[in-house]
Structure 1
């Protein structure tokens, strides 16, 4: 079975969030599996961003295409390397300097690139060109293209309807994974000529969405299977509350819509082997968490060293429940606990960011940082006792899974993937399964009451607290399980 994983980002080459984690590690796990008696050949296709130019030289360039781009043609090259962690996984970089050799991935200095639509139109066209090239030059026949989020969704249109008479694309199956429906890739019609397709596709049943060109609709309508990153989210987005205007469409295609829970790649997130933490640990050496916490308290100049540490690592995005935290700073400041928030910037929320920091600075036990720091994220997860994730909505979430694996109990709003992964503690009847704390009503009262419960257990019921940590660390939310579910879908498609 030959599979192309197509994504706009993939760790360790590029990352802004959970998409990067999953797209980067998925092919590594997939390549270790089999389809019947034959192996699975999984490759990754991503743009070549500025930080990755050091990985390639002229010898890595395997093809060069002239790609139609409106009235222009743009030279685009394909570079190929072996994955640094696994020689069995090929990485194909789409190299186009004017489009992708920039300081950011989607934005710079707080502003989205104004040509993002064109950048990912070109990317999708290059993917198609590469598939055809490999078929003609190397007799390589692809079975499945697995695309992720709006940036790659046009690939489905080009495979299924624009170039569907190409021999190389014949019988290729397309799976489209929605990581966050809130990001749809909807653009004004002035970008339409860049697609180099007939206006017959600008209809409600294809690309048109309230007068805009919707990239994500191409993926939803034309892919053979559509997946989301948790079972609960796949149901939620068929309702108006979470459907972002797409709920009716998603109800219509529910026969091919599946929710598969994301998982953790053990090589990247594992307290026993994590290269980012000095004192590795497991359940038998969990006291090492205290050493990591003490190191963080020294680094951040906390005076109360015996207090528990509560962390949050997130985009600075209203989706993540920032309003609940902002309005709860008085309660947070009154707890016998220390808080560290690590956010990546959102320059659309500059005024709120300033207010957020100003309010946090009034408390001695709260620290707020704005930086993308992978190493610090690992250390905060490892050193914390509790992890906050009160999201308004959450397609899956990975940080609550990381936190449980590291023995940090999550406090979450019971939606989407948070509902599917965190089993709420609600007394002795849940003691053998509970792995954290959740609240149903998105309100300050519910959030604070849940934190009150967590701190009461931490300080007054150590045996219960320790049991919850044991439960959490024993949960198996591995990427291996996720990929196995996808392999079942791949088989289903190919048997058809």
Structure 2
């Protein structure tokens, strides 16, 4: 079976979040379970250096009345074929989707061109190399239109006659809804602009194509698959997803982590590598970090959070809890990637932090520092309003840092709540159900009480967390089961 992934980003070539991690690493994991998998992504300006820049093929792509040329560069990475769609005008920019926190105005055009190029590439691969296009796996709205082209526009093409389409929703809040003035770029009949296809309250909705026309729809955790069928989390698409579930075509597949990128035994960014039997080395890493950042209270535990600066991540709970945070015998370090959409809130956040001696906020993207913080920390905060899956709580557990999470989405699927001695053998962290400052502080109180007054129990939880297996191979095996059933 041949699987072709189409995604707008993929690690290590391009990444803004969890989509990049999964799209980049899942093909290799599938290969490990004997599923042949390839990847199609745009070639961005910030791309890592390609060994081979030879053009594999090129296409003239129609966008309304305009014709543009895209080139395809074929690259081998970890024994995976990676096909880059190259058009410098559309993709050679400082950002992937936005610049200075402002979305590119031509994003619809960019990803229509990308999708059409991917479709032409699949047809070309089939004809030139006689490779069957068994499965096409689409990720988020940027590639969702491919479901429409495969199932209804190019369905008479020989290569697509038996093709099955999987569409994965990484975050339903991002839908790719655009005004109808972009419709001509699709070069399709207006008969598809109906609620049962891609019309959504007067807008052209890319994500609807993926949901309606794919053979199965997956999300990035089992609990998120349930949540998006509700009005609270469904972002206006809950009835559509409820119907998909009733058809037996909606599934939650938990995102896994790449063991070689995030592994305390081999992590190249930390001075002292460790495992569950040598986890006392975490203290050495913590002390080194305190020295690097000139933090005086060296005996305090470290609490960390690594995230984009976005209210979705529960920042209002942290903001309203600064007084409580300042009273704990603990050091807090927040590592945020800045977001101009919320600049005023960011300024208020920083101003309030200055009043607390034990809280440090850093605004930068630093992969090495992220690894150091994860390895050094004792407790990790992730009080998200909603969280389709989340990977940082999985990384933190792998590194022996206990997460405090709001029990939603993938956080509910991955963190087992400590609720007294009866849960000591299974618990891997602390969770709260009600999204409120009171519930958040109560969870922190419980964590610190355990740390200071029952360290043996705290360490038991650390052992439980480090033993959990959230490998990407598990994710790959679930997808393999879907593929076999096709």
Q: Structure 1-normalised TM-score?
A: 0.96
Cα distance 1:53–1:290, how it changes in 2: closer, same or farther (>3 A)?
closer
The separation in 1 between residues aligned to 2:49 and 2:469, in whole angstroms, is 37
SS at match of 2:46: helix
Cα deviations by residue, 1:112-154 (Å, 9 ceiling, x for unpaired)? 1111111111110010000011111111211101110011100
Match of 2:107 among 93, 98, 116: 116
The separation in 2 between residues aligned to 1:372 and 1:184, in whole angstroms, is 26
Q: State the match for 1:319 in structure 2.
A: 312
Q: State the match for 2:346 in structure 1.
A: 353
The separation in 1 between residues aligned to 2:49 and 2:430, in whole angstroms, is 44
Q: State the match for 1:41 in structure 2.
A: 36
SS at match of 2:217: strand
Cα distance 1:430–1:28, how it changes in 2: closer, same or farther (>3 A)?
same
The number of residues matched between the two structures is 484
Aligned 8 A contact 1:184 1:215 in 2: yes
Match of 1:76 among 52, 70, 76: 70
Q: State the match for 1:248 in structure 2.
A: 239
The separation in 2 between residues aligned to 1:248 and 1:151, in whole angstroms, is 22
Aligned 8 A contact 2:52 2:75 in 1: no
Residue 224 of structure 1 pairs with residue 212 of structure 2: no
SS at match of 2:226: helix
Aligned 8 A contact 2:450 2:457 in 1: yes
Cα distance 1:53–1:99, how it changes in 2: closer, same or farther (>3 A)?
farther
Q: State the match for 1:205 in structure 2.
A: 196
Cα deviations by residue, 1:163-214 (Å, 9 ceiling, x for unpaired)? 1111122111100000110111111111111111111111000101111111
SS at match of 1:74: strand
SS at match of 1:336: coil
Q: State the match for 2:177 in structure 1.
A: 186
Cα RMSD of the aligned pairs, angstroms, is 1.0
Cα deviations by residue, 1:51-98 (Å, 9 ceiling, x for unpaired)? 22731554x210010000111110100001110xx12x1111000100
The separation in 1 between residues aligned to 2:39 and 2:110, in whole angstroms, is 18
Aligned 8 A contact 2:33 2:476 in 1: no
Match of 1:98 among 89, 102, 105: 89
The separation in 2 between residues aligned to 1:32 and 1:81, in whole angstroms, is 19
Aligned 8 A contact 1:345 1:370 in 2: yes
Q: CA deviation at 1:372?
A: 1.7
Q: State the match for 1:6 in structure 2.
A: 6
Residue 144 of structure 1 pairs with residue 135 of structure 2: yes
SS at match of 2:73: strand
Q: State the match for 1:37 in structure 2.
A: none
SS at match of 2:374: helix
Q: CA deviation at 1:363?
A: 1.1
The separation in 1 between residues aligned to 2:92 and 2:450, in whole angstroms, is 51
Cα deviations by residue, 1:222-256 (Å, 9 ceiling, x for unpaired)? 00000001111100110000001010110111120
The separation in 2 between residues aligned to 1:270 and 1:137, in whole angstroms, is 41
Following TM superposition, the consecutive aligned residue runs of length 4 or more in structure 1 with deviations greater than 4 angstroms are none
The separation in 1 between residues aligned to 2:375 and 2:170, in whole angstroms, is 26
Residue 438 of structure 1 pairs with residue 431 of structure 2: yes
Cα deviations by residue, 1:278-303 (Å, 9 ceiling, x for unpaired)? 21100111111111111211122211
Match of 1:172 among 152, 163, 169: 163
The separation in 2 between residues aligned to 1:358 and 1:78, in whole angstroms, is 48
The separation in 2 between residues aligned to 1:53 and 1:370, in whole angstroms, is 24
The separation in 2 between residues aligned to 1:394 and 1:53, in whole angstroms, is 29
The separation in 2 between residues aligned to 1:69 and 1:427, in whole angstroms, is 61
Q: State the match for 1:486 in structure 2.
A: 479
Per mean C-alpha deviation after superposition, the further-off stretch among 62-71 and 358-367 is 358-367
The separation in 1 between residues aligned to 2:164 and 2:339, in whole angstroms, is 36
Residue 392 of structure 1 pairs with residue 368 of structure 2: no
Aligned 8 A contact 1:56 1:79 in 2: no
SS at match of 2:362: strand
* Structural mapping, 1:247-266, within 5 Å: 247-254=238-245, 255-266=248-259
Cα deviations by residue, 1:345-384 (Å, 9 ceiling, x for unpaired)? 2211010011111111221111111222111111111110
Q: State the match for 1:29 in structure 2.
A: 29
The separation in 2 between residues aligned to 1:25 and 1:278, in whole angstroms, is 26
Residue 67 of structure 1 pairs with residue 67 of structure 2: no
Aligned 8 A contact 2:70 2:85 in 1: yes
SS at match of 1:251: helix
Match of 2:277 among 284, 288, 313: 284
Q: CA deviation at 1:99?
A: 0.5
Q: Structure 2-normalised TM-score?
A: 0.98
Listed as ranges, the gaps of 5+ residues in structure 2 are none
Cα deviations by residue, 1:476-495 (Å, 9 ceiling, x for unpaired)? 111111110110011112xx
Q: CA deviation at 1:25?
A: 0.7
Per mean C-alpha deviation after superposition, the further-off stretch among 340-349 and 438-447 is 340-349
Q: State the match for 2:446 in structure 1.
A: 453
Aligned 8 A contact 1:401 1:421 in 2: yes
SS at match of 2:40: strand
Match of 1:54 among 36, 49, 52: 49
